[in-house]
Structure 1
Amino acid sequence: MGELLLIRHGQTAWSLSGQHAGRTDVPLTEDGEAAARRLAPRLAGRSFAAVVSSPLGRAMRTAELAGLTGVQPDPDLLEWDYGGYEGLTAEQIRAARPRWDLWRDGVVPGDADHPGEDLDQVAARTDAALARIRPLLATGDVAVVAHGHLARVLAVRWLGLEPSAAGLLGHPHPGSLGLLATEDGRPHLAAWNVP
């Protein structure tokens, strides 16, 4: 069985400032583009059965700069819709909601472009993506290019854990890799947050 390589997109101005960028399509910074290019040698020796990505530009551009080809956009890999918290930092949110925690407290509704999602909705999307990815792993590795919070949810769902367990994983750095695999027929996390 192949391995699932989980790639977080490169740095954006909002990931640098700590702003929540769910559906806002913030482009990569120069450093973000450089980090994506540095992924290419790590990925070059692999033969991918499929490459899927969030349709947002920052993810698709990361895939391109990392040398991935045949990339298929998958809307189920979009980042969490942060609703009314779109564009805010955790510190700004906590100014109004002390001790706020995304994994426990979720988001508030936003405007028509950012209505917001709860954790179970994000998990349902990652479950749907994984249902399409798992059969592809029978023929080789699969690369997934996505976003920080979405990647954490996808990883814990791969492991068969509740979505809230995603809060136990460190936030993947922009342009980093995670490796989801199986051992003795059981899913495991082989690597996380590899630069």
Structure 2
Amino acid sequence: MGELILVRHGETEWSRARRHTGLTDLPLTAHGEDQARALRGALKERRVARTLVSPARRARRTAELAGLTADAIDPDLWEWDYGGYEGRTTAEIREERPGWFLWDDGVVPGDAGHPGETVEQVGARAAAVLARVDPLPADGDVVLVAHGHFLRVLTARRLGLEPAQGRLFALATGTLSALGAEHGRPVVSAWNVPPCRPGRRPGPEAPVSA
């Protein structure tokens, strides 16, 4: 059976500055575009049966530069709506809420365009995506090109964990991860893998981003 391949988009100005970037539609930086192009080699070594991409232009551009053709633009793949914390860093938020942690404390409502989501609501969107891609094809992989926090929540749901357990899966920009199965049960077969040298398939042995 194929695997579920997770691609986090390349770097943006806000991801570089560690600002929470949910619904704000930012482009990739030059480095982010380089990250996306570098994924092409790893993805060429896989038999891709289907690709779903977030509507965000940072995700769509990553897919394009990585050599992927989107079979669908899936609105459920959008990043977590951070509400009133959109564009702010954790350090800035903690000046008002000492000890704040997204996975435990959530977000506050923002303006009409950023009402905010609970982790459970993000988990429901992730479950809807998983329902659409299951069962995975027997002869190829399904690729999801999306966002860091969303893909972490989706991974938790895939593994039968609560959405907030996505906190366990750190995920850098411009990386590839794979969710497979062992004896019919979901497992992580590769995680947070940066682009690798041509001819080498990414896997657990590949260097992992800090």
TM-score by length of 1: 0.97
CA deviation map 1:106-158 (0-9, x unaligned): 00000000000000000000000000011243442000000000010011111
Output the CA distance in 1 between the equivalents of 2:96 and 2:36: 35
Aligned residue in 1 for 2:157 = 157
Q: Which amino acid aligns with 1:67?
A: G
Aligned residue in 1 for 2:40 = 40
1:28 shift after superposition: 0.1
Please give the secondary structure, in 1, of the residue aligned with 2:39: helix
1:49 shift after superposition: 1.5
Q: Contact (CA 8 Å) 1:63, 1:71: kept in 2 or not?
A: no
Q: Contact (CA 8 Å) 1:49, 1:136: kept in 2 or not?
A: no
Aligned residue in 1 for 2:202 = none
Aligned residue in 2 for 1:80 = 80
Alignment of 1:76-115 (within 5 A): 76-115=76-115
Please give the secondary structure, in 2, of the residue aligned with 1:156: helix
Q: Contact (CA 8 Å) 1:82, 1:114: kept in 2 or not?
A: yes
Alignment of 1:7-156 (within 5 A): 7-156=7-156
Aligned CA RMSD, in angstroms, stands at 0.9
Q: Which moved more, 1:94-103 or 1:63-72?
A: 63-72
Q: Structure 1 stretches of 5 or more lacking a match? A: none
Output the CA distance in 2 between the equivalents of 1:128 and 1:188: 19
Please give the secondary structure, in 2, of the residue aligned with 1:151: helix
Q: Which moved more, 1:63-72 or 1:118-127?
A: 63-72
Aligned residue in 2 for 1:187 = 186
Output the CA distance in 2 between the equivalents of 1:178 and 1:153: 14
TM-score by length of 2: 0.90
Q: Which moved more, 1:137-146 or 1:28-37?
A: 137-146
Q: Structure 2 stretches of 5 or more lacking a match? A: 195-210
Output the CA distance in 1 between the equivalents of 2:193 and 2:139: 24
Aligned residue in 2 for 1:176 = 175
1:96 shift after superposition: 0.4
Q: Which amino acid aligns with 2:60?
A: M
CA deviation map 1:14-67 (0-9, x unaligned): 000000000000100000000000000000122212100111000000000000
Output the CA distance in 2 between the equivalents of 1:127 and 1:92: 31
Output the CA distance in 1 between the equivalents of 2:2 and 2:117: 31
Structure with greater proportional helix content: 1
Taking only the aligned residue pairs, the percentage that are identical comes to 58
